[in-house]
Amino acid sequence: MYLHIGAGRLVRDSEIIGCFDMDGRADSQLNRDFLKAAERRGVTSSAGDDLPRTFILTDEGVIFTHISTAAVVGRVKK
């Protein structure tokens, strides 16, 4: 099944490893280091131009989206 994550972007639900809220969690040093390393490797992308609320870890890399973590998880559960 494909999941819409914003700005017309679709991701196969089987590729999703985890969804993480940008509020608070991205402030931890471990997460900042992880996201910086992913950016250096060129495996980050954005689903839209809005301020990201969630980052989604997939088999392919990290996708930033403006859709809330709760909404992404809710879409996966449908």
**Residue range 17-28: mean pLDDT, rounded:** 79
pLDDT of residue 62: 97
Residues above pLDDT 90, as percent of the chain: 74
At 30-67, the pLDDT tens digits run 888 999 999 999 999 999 999 999 999 999 999 999 99
Q: What's the structural domain count of the chain?
A: 1
What the block records as the tokens of 32 is: 């900042």
Helix (H) or strand (E) holding 19, with range, is strand 16-21
Range of the structural domain that residue 55 is part of? 2-77
Alpha-helical (H) ranges within the chain are 29-41, 69-77
**Residue range 4-19: mean pLDDT, rounded:** 94
Through-space distance between the first and last CA atoms of the chain, rounded to whole angstroms: 10
What the block records as the tokens of 45 is: 């992308």
Residue 26 above 60 pLDDT?
no
Give the CA count within 13 Å in the CB-facing half-sphere of 65.
27
In angstroms, the CA 78 to CA 76 distance is 6
